[in-house]
Structure 1
Amino acid sequence: MQAILLTATGSPDVLVPGEVPAPRPQAGELLIRTEAIPVLFPETMLRSGAFPLPVQFPIVFGTQAAGVVIEAGAGADTTLLGQRVLVSSNTFGTYAEQVSVPAQIAVRIPDNLSSVDAAAVTMSASVALPLLETAKLTGTETVLIEAAGTGVGAYLTQLAKEFGAARVIATAGDPEKAEQARGFGADVVIDHSVPDWTNHLRETLGGATLDVVFDSIGGESALALLDLMTPLRGRMLGYGFLSGTAAQVSTMDLIMRGLTFIGCSGPDWLAGVAAARREALERAAAGSITPLVDRVLPLDQAAQAHRLLADRVAKGTVVLTPANP
């Protein structure tokens, strides 16, 4: 079968199409014929070498896929045969025409949701939902959502007022993404591509403060935001570092302002993200969130998909499709 091999860490060119043996489902596993494979930002970080990969190269890359269950291993749920499911793999292997995964991680895709939309929405929306639940918005608060035009930020923006935001201030890196954020419910959008964007935010607030910050940029801007947050009850949820580094915020920075920083990562956090996948798919099927698909590319163009994400030009998820789904 065709698959995309990660031959080393480095530039997108380390992703190479190749032929590998088709997997066989072991006990408790399901064999999936993939139909849509999302290219995820964390995958680009792993591919680049930003995080260590304790594997021997080459490996079949990829962590999520949507497709049809075509075989069940011993003890696996046979009622899923012929059903479309979304799967996530901790051991990679999803950039391929077929993938075998533990049956318990398969989430059935609603009938009225396409495999491409399911692949596009699941990762980012299933992060946004626990972020909003953790924030515990009160219905009267002003929130800042960074990088709100795409990815997790776009789904946060779509859902923030439902979860209790009174005013949504968003950031985006270009006019098209800013317009997309406005369409998803942002009241104001700030351009975070300019160096002094936090000063523009201060002017926009006009003396008001931020009650909740959903921080996906990290870096030094996170520290600059602390002085714009509501003393004693302001909270920052850190879940990303698009700047290249995590939020440069110390304990003393928070203590002196009476603020809370909530780190949204680690095994327990990821378990909550996994648990939210079903709700993400159901919401997309019901229309309460809009899946963001930038484009659909053939599987053998995985390297190009990674370039699009690295260059920050994608306005949604880039989805790969096998030649013979």
Structure 2
Amino acid sequence: MHAIRLHAFGPADNLVYEKTEDPVPGPGQVRIAVEAAGVHLLDTALRLGDRGPLPALPELPTVPGREVAGTVESLGEGTDPAWLGKRVVAHLGMVPGGYAELAVTDAARLHEIPANLDAARAVAMIGTGRTAMGILQFTELGPDSVAVVPAAAGGIGTLLVQYAKNAGATVIGLAGGPAKTAAVEANGADLAVDYNVPDWPLRVREFLGERRATVVFDSVGGEPGRAAVDLLGPGGLHLVFGWSSGGLHEGGPLTFTEEEQAARGIVSEQVLGPVMLGRAGGDNPVRVLETRALAEAAAGRLTPAVQRFPLAGAAAAHRALEGRATMGKVVLVP
């Protein structure tokens, strides 16, 4: 098979498209003929040699990527034969191997792809959609809500805008540049604002009049995140799940001390992985959120935005993602 392999940590050009041996499924596993592989910001950190939230860096050489969708074409010993030939999507967990024509994973991780979803959108929902469902556990949205979504043209932001609109909320979407702002508007935001324009908070305040924001979904941090928090009214909620303004491998999330929160009359919460999974409950909270995300897409309530790159163009996909030149979920297509 062909795959993307990383032989040394470093720049995107270290991602090499080459021929390698086909992976062999072990007991209880399946091999998937990959139709789409997800690219995550965490992949760029790992490529640079920063393990981020993971316990360790992968051993080199490695095939990056932990989200795949395609068709089951081979079974390991003891695997339920009903999976053979099924269209499936899976998050590989801590095991890499997604940027390839073939990928192996445990059958227990598989979800059958709903009939009305293509592989790329299924990949978007198994990772990005799962995260969106996790974040949304921490707030109840309704007609009285005013939601501010920084990075509203991104994979998670696109879904948060749609979910909030479905709940009847007023949605302010922030994005960088005219093309992204237009995409946010087309996605249904009541107001789409370019946060590269210095007076963007004034535009939001003029639009809202006497109303104030009730929730900020902050994956950006930095100055855009702080300016978004300034839009919150008393009792407002600041949900933090990233800090892309400094890059995943630099800086950190935007935080406020208890004294600062009290002075502003807001609540600021970090809703990263462990907290998110703790709220989901169940014996397998990851699967709970994955199932919920796929169900939302299958029902047509959420439609992920996807930007496709060829598998051989993985380096270009990484550069685009790091340069904030992408919209929606980035997906590699073999």
After TM superposition, the score normalised by the length of structure 2 is 0.87
Residue 245 of structure 2: SS of its match in structure 1? coil
Q: 1:63: which partner in 2?
A: 66
Q: 1:100: which partner in 2?
A: 104
User: Are 1:161 and 2:162 counterparts?
Assistant: no
Amino acid at match of 2:289: A
Which shows bigger deviation, 266-275 or 94-103?
A: 266-275
Where does the alignment leave 5 or more consecutive residues of structure 2 unmatched?
A: 247-251, 278-283
Amino acid at match of 2:259: M
C-alpha contact 1:69 1:83 (8 A) present in aligned 2 = yes
C-alpha contact 1:132 1:160 (8 A) present in aligned 2 = no
Counterpart of 2:147 (choices 143, 154, 171) is 143
Which shows bigger deviation, 151-160 or 107-116?
A: 107-116
Counterpart of 1:300 (choices 312, 319, 327) is 312
Alpha carbons of structure 1 residues 10 and 185: separation in structure 2 relative to 1, 3 Å: same
Residue 134 of structure 1: SS of its match in structure 2? coil
Where does the alignment leave 5 or more consecutive residues of structure 1 unmatched?
A: none
User: Are 1:317 and 2:329 counterparts?
Assistant: yes
After TM superposition, the score normalised by the length of structure 1 is 0.89
Residue 300 of structure 1: SS of its match in structure 2? helix
Residue 259 of structure 2: SS of its match in structure 1? helix
Q: 1:195-218 CA deviation, whole Å, 9 max, x = no partner? A: 554454344433431111101111
Q: 1:247: which partner in 2?
A: 254
Q: 2:236: which partner in 1?
A: 234
Q: 1:110-164 CA deviation, whole Å, 9 max, x = no partner? A: 1232213322443222222232232112431111011112311011111112235
Shift, 1:95, TM fit: 0.9
Task: Find the aligned partners of 1:236 and 1:95 in 2 and give their Cα distance.
Answer: 35
C-alpha contact 2:150 2:225 (8 A) present in aligned 1 = no
Shift, 1:268, TM fit: 4.8
Which shows bigger deviation, 127-136 or 62-71?
A: 127-136
Alpha carbons of structure 1 residues 236 and 8: separation in structure 2 relative to 1, 3 Å: same
How many residue pairs match? The answer is 319
C-alpha contact 2:128 2:329 (8 A) present in aligned 1 = no
Task: Find the aligned partners of 1:200 and 1:249 in 2 and give their Cα distance.
Answer: 25
User: Are 1:282 and 2:284 counterparts?
Assistant: no
Residue 182 of structure 1: SS of its match in structure 2? helix
Shift, 1:34, TM fit: 0.9
Q: 1:69-106 CA deviation, whole Å, 9 max, x = no partner? A: 12222333321111011111221111112111111111
C-alpha contact 2:195 2:224 (8 A) present in aligned 1 = no
Q: 1:42-86 CA deviation, whole Å, 9 max, x = no partner? A: 222322344354332211111111011122223333211110111
C-alpha contact 1:296 1:319 (8 A) present in aligned 2 = yes
Alpha carbons of structure 1 residues 201 and 112: separation in structure 2 relative to 1, 3 Å: closer
User: Are 1:261 and 2:261 counterparts?
Assistant: no
Residue 46 of structure 1: SS of its match in structure 2? helix
Runs in 1 of length 4+ with deviation above 6 angstroms?
none
C-alpha contact 1:69 1:80 (8 A) present in aligned 2 = yes
Amino acid at match of 2:25: P
Task: Find the aligned partners of 2:115 and 2:232 in 1 and give their Cα distance.
Answer: 43
C-alpha contact 1:220 1:248 (8 A) present in aligned 2 = no
Q: 1:232-268 CA deviation, whole Å, 9 max, x = no partner? A: x211111111111311422321122232122111335
- Root mean square deviation of aligned Cα: 2.2
Alpha carbons of structure 1 residues 229 and 272: separation in structure 2 relative to 1, 3 Å: farther
Alpha carbons of structure 1 residues 119 and 305: separation in structure 2 relative to 1, 3 Å: same
Task: List aligned pairs for 1:36-55, cutoff 5 A.
Answer: 36-51=36-51, 53-55=56-58
Amino acid at match of 1:267: P
Amino acid at match of 1:193: N
Residue 256 of structure 1: SS of its match in structure 2? helix
Task: Find the aligned partners of 2:195 and 2:35 in 1 and give their Cα distance.
Answer: 36
Q: 2:212: which partner in 1?
A: 209
Task: Find the aligned partners of 1:249 and 1:196 in 2 and give their Cα distance.
Answer: 23
Counterpart of 1:171 (choices 163, 171, 174) is 174
Q: 1:188: which partner in 2?
A: 191
Amino acid at match of 1:23: P
Task: Find the aligned partners of 1:161 and 1:40 in 2 and give their Cα distance.
Answer: 26
User: Are 1:14 and 2:9 counterparts?
Assistant: no
C-alpha contact 1:305 1:318 (8 A) present in aligned 2 = yes
C-alpha contact 1:127 1:273 (8 A) present in aligned 2 = no
Q: 2:30: which partner in 1?
A: 30
